[in-house]
Amino acid sequence: MYGRAEEKNQILFLAISIILILRLVCIGAMGIMPQDAYYHFYGEHLALSYFDHPPMIAYLLRLFTTIFGKHVFALKLADSIVSFLTLLVFFRLAKCFLGMNRAWNAVLIFFSTLMLTILSLISTPDVPLLLFWTISLLMLYHAIFLERKKYWIWSGIAMGLSFDSKYTGVALLGGLTLFLIFSKKYRSLLFSRWFCLCVLLFLVTISPVIIWNVQNHFASFRFQSAGRMHSMNGIHFDLTDFAGLIGHQAAILIPVLFFSLFYFLFKFLKKSRWRFFIISQKNLFLLSFFLPLFLGFILLSFIYWIKLNWIMPAYVSGIIWVSGYISKKWIRYQVIFSAVIHIALAIELFWYPFRINSDDTWVGWPELAEQVKSIKKSYPDAFIFSADDYKTSAVLNFYVNEMVYSRNIIGKNALQFDFIGSDLNALAGRSAIFINSVNGLTDEEKNDMQSELQEYFDSISPLQPILVMKGGNPVRKFSVYLCRNYHPKK
């Protein structure tokens, strides 16, 4: 019996080692992602906030590139260090709710998720969000359960920093309010001066984001609220969006964990009959910061496409909660399954057997930049721009030592590129090198793009397309045009 237990522990240790080694290798070897470049572009234009998101990711990347230089490694290092800090704070938080063994189980589950790998590899606002979200829950635990009044101060600041990372941070205030409403023991705190101080400090901490939005006609708030609603084009039920959410959430959590959440939630809610007033205070706390986001986005997925990362912060308390129920056997399956997925990820990263027909890839960007630099030498007075969303423009801005413009050149909304103070009139009369990814574009869409270019330039001349090769095969293609005599529209 002892021998079998020892063998299982060795298998678990091997799986953990595989995940750790492959994660470190991927961090060191993975190329730049468009998101890395775009939020680095934020950091090169420091502001109180930004069009798509609050500023924390910009400050983080600016700090690391200032210290370590403008290198892809510096971006990945920033993500990795912050994600590691998140794991450390998560362990401290888990110990508050679980015994030491169960707390280690929670850390092991969190460590095994593909979610943590994504956070360690790709720069997004979720990287600082999860750190400050976890810190917020830890501070709130000390303030509420240990009755340490000064922690209400740190809670307000930490929740504000979560909001300064991503607007999802406002759900912390919602979860806290929900917990206090349902908690018989702590409900009186809802009317205490300490809760009011916490909210006040939250508002003070998020004031830079509010000021930026006031100065820019609430552009970011409108984009993330009314803009999202407008993109729905009316309410329609679509089971494929729901199936997509189940698929990508099962992938980032690993299916064992994801479906364990459903299983134990069903059992728990059935037993309690949804009477939150009767469940333990610690369970109520964890569920208050998990259930609203988790179930809310699942329900919304029937009428709207939910992105892979939107539910991530809910899993902080969700993983701690489910760790109180899930057995060691299933944790072992979780880790082994994760090791297999990480091996597959490493194979894709190094050998690229499955081509990604999207610009959301790490493949080909440095090669593109080198060829663009070569073309630029032939037309030194021309400026460079792209119009395939933000991705090509952002990456070229990282590699090319001059401003690369986006689709604002041809009168289209260009996200943060519209808010950096570019004077497009100063480009009037100049030629331009137009670089655009053609991945997934139809011939009709390519022709439409040429028609749009002709409205802003006197002549459009196609140049040799840029092909990115891997293993002797073309994996990406970019169209290139020389556009003469730019005349921006008034």
Pairing mode, strands 383-385 and 432-437: parallel
Distances, alpha carbon 181 to alpha carbons 139, 184, 186, 477, in Å: 19, 8, 8, 56
Instruction: Over range 13-39, report the average pLDDT.
Output: 87
Q: Which residues contact 262 (CB under 8 A, 6 or more apart)?
A: none
- In the chain, % of residues over pLDDT 70: 94
Per DSSP, 483 falls in state E
Rg (CA), the chain: 25
Instruction: Over range 386-412, report the average pLDDT.
Output: 94
Does residue 360 sit within a domain?
no
Of 329, 351, 373, the residue at which a domain comes to its end is 351
261 and 158 fall within a common domain: yes
Per-residue model confidence as pLDDT tens digits over 71-88: 999 999 999 999 999 999
β-bridge mates for residue 432, sequence order: 383, 483
Does residue 356 sit within a domain?
no
Per-residue model confidence as pLDDT tens digits over 88-125: 999 999 999 998 999 999 999 999 999 999 999 999 99
Per-residue model confidence as pLDDT tens digits over 416-450: 999 999 999 999 999 999 999 987 666 666 677 88
316 and 347 fall within a common domain: yes
Tokens 């609220």 found at: 225
Tokens 């909304």 found at: 413
345 and 197 fall within a common domain: yes
pLDDT band at 1 (very low <50, low <70, confident <90, very high): very low
CA nearest 327: which of 272, 260, 269, 267? 260
82 and 122 fall within a common domain: yes
Does residue 97 sit within a domain?
yes
344 and 419 fall within a common domain: no
Does residue 358 sit within a domain?
no
144 and 238 fall within a common domain: yes
Q: Are 351 and 128 in contact (CB under 8 A)?
A: no
Residue 351: exposure state from Cβ atoms within 10 A (0-12, 13-18, ≥19): exposed
Per-residue model confidence as pLDDT tens digits over 163-195: 999 999 999 999 999 999 999 999 999 999 999
Given a cut of 80, is residue 11 above it in pLDDT? Answer: no
Given a cut of 80, is residue 4 above it in pLDDT? Answer: no
331 and 473 fall within a common domain: no
50-59, 150-159, 467-476: lowest mean pLDDT where? 467-476
Q: Which residues contact 324 (CB under 8 A, 6 or more apart)?
A: 97, 98, 102
Pairing mode, strands 473-486 and 432-437: antiparallel
381 and 346 fall within a common domain: no
Give residue 382's pLDDT.
97
Per-residue model confidence as pLDDT tens digits over 212-236: 999 999 999 999 887 666 655 556 7
Give residue 232's pLDDT.
57
Give the range of the structural domain holding residue 396, as residue numbers without chain letter.
Answer: 365-486
Q: Are 290 and 284 in contact (CB under 8 A)?
A: no
Helix, strand or coil, per DSSP, at residue 344: helix
Does residue 60 sit within a domain?
yes
232 and 152 fall within a common domain: yes
Task: Please state, in angstroms and rounded to a whole number, the distance separating the CA atoms of residues 342 and 336.
Answer: 10
Q: How many domains does the chain have?
A: 2
Per-residue model confidence as pLDDT tens digits over 45-80: 999 999 999 999 999 999 999 999 999 999 999 999
Report the amino acid identity of residue 177: T
116 and 178 fall within a common domain: yes
Pairing mode, strands 404-405 and 473-486: unpaired
Report the amino acid identity of residue 294: F
Task: Please state, in angstroms and rounded to a whole number, the distance separating the CA atoms of residues 335 and 338.
Answer: 5
Tokens 């809670």 found at: 155
261 and 373 fall within a common domain: no
